[in-house]
Structure 1
Amino acid sequence: MTTQELYNELSHVNHSREKRLYYANLVINNPGLISKLLEIMLWVDDKASPRAAWVFEFMCKKNIDAIIPYLDTFTENMHKVHIDSAVRPVAKICEFLATAYYSKTENDIQTALTETHKERIIEVCFDYMINDEKVAPKAYSMSTLFLLGKEYDWVYPELSRILEDDFHKQSAAFKARARHILKKIKKA
């Protein structure tokens, strides 16, 4: 399947789990499509970018190792994604990566995720926290930053400050997640 054919196929993707899972499985079963899917996701001003991001997120949820050959490309370019419905999956993928990296169960992400990748993830997550993003990317970023803060001692003070400063301005969902993360930081 060419990039253009995949682009055309993505027009069938909608918010339903069924469609996103169908296309995620299609990509997982045809690894040559992963780079094309990522390429479309990074056409950040195109209407297909969010659809590609939804499929990419489901692919990572089902098989996080599938992203390993593309970690450089993903982390170098994820900050360019700006359409709200594409930002949420990017933030979720960052959370998947951090969760896998700090898992007690040995996995390939633990060896594939480099210092540079982690630093880029920290940077984009802090951007999501301080920019005018919706609650979901902020919530995923909080969790990601909490995990990466285990290794980077400057992350917790910065994250705590942002959460406390923004607390009164945010939604109930943000406040609930922030309380949870702040409690975990105090324990750590």
Structure 2
Amino acid sequence: MIILSLHGMTKEQFLLEISKNVSKVKATVLAQLAISDHYTMSDLLSLCYHPQKAIAFRAAWILEFVENKSPDRFIPLLVEFIEQLTHQHNASCQRHFTKILMNYTNRKAKTIRKEAFSQLTTTHKEQVVERVFEWLIKSETPVAVRVNCIEILYNLVPLFPWIKDELNAQITFYLKDGSAAMQSRGKKLLMKLLEAS
């Protein structure tokens, strides 16, 4: 049984909790804590860059939980989140970060997310494109992250039409010997890109 106080947990106590193995149930409880007014989103984001990869991964997992449950709590962090993407080299964190970015770029995103993303400056949107392309083309990027990157970039084609040709070339390249996940999503998005031509 998990008993965590949702009130008064310090940043240090939170760090101690995610230094241990975190089950899905415990991650949900910690996300509820992070959603409360007693813990700042900025503190949680900083833990996503912790030098210990397991801690950073758990923090990113919890950050994704928070964003899914309470986008209103995450949105004030969106600019900071984007500005720090360049420093995220942990592939496990990139998986959760790309899932968050998919929520904001999805053409069927909830209004609250669409409005938040539309209010970003062009520079911030370009930072998303640049970082996601970088993760997509790195040879060591895991397939799950790569597939998410393809989806994000596809979603951003209406804003940045030049992405279309670059993305088309990348998908075609990865389909040559890609995994089942890459084949499935890659083919669907390639078809959509071709239909939009």
Q: TM-score, normalised by structure 2?
A: 0.84
Corresponding residue number in structure 2 for 1:171: 179
Partners of 1:63 and 1:20 lie apart in 2 by 15
Corresponding residue number in structure 2 for 1:106: 111
How far 1:60 moved relative to its partner?
1.0
Corresponding residue number in structure 2 for 1:76: 83
3-state DSSP class of the match of 2:176?
Answer: helix
Q: Deviations over 1:53-112 (max 9, x none)?
A: 00001111112232222122211112322222212101111111212xx44753242444
User: Which runs of 5 or more structure 1 residues have no equivalent in the other structure?
Assistant: none
* 1:119-158 to 2 correspondences below 5 Å: 119-131=126-138, 132-158=140-166
Partners of 1:18 and 1:77 lie apart in 2 by 28
Equivalent residues of 2:174, 2:182 under 8 A apart:
no
Query: Which of 180, 183, 187 is residue 188 of structure 2 equivalent to?
Result: 180
Greater Rg by CA: 2
The answer to which structure has the higher helix fraction is 1
Relative to structure 1, the CA distance from residue 88 to residue 105 in structure 2 (aligned partners, 3 Å threshold; closer, same or farther) is: closer
Partners of 2:109 and 2:64 lie apart in 1 by 22
Relative to structure 1, the CA distance from residue 121 to residue 89 in structure 2 (aligned partners, 3 Å threshold; closer, same or farther) is: same
Give the aligned CA root-mean-square deviation in angstroms: 2.0
Percent identity reads 29
How far 1:12 moved relative to its partner?
4.1
Runs of 4+ in 1 over 4 A off after TM superposition: none
Q: What is the aligned length?
A: 185
- What letter corresponds to residue 111 of structure 2 in structure 1? E
Relative to structure 1, the CA distance from residue 152 to residue 44 in structure 2 (aligned partners, 3 Å threshold; closer, same or farther) is: farther
User: Which runs of 5 or more structure 2 residues have no equivalent in the other structure?
Assistant: 1-8
Corresponding residue number in structure 1 for 2:5: none
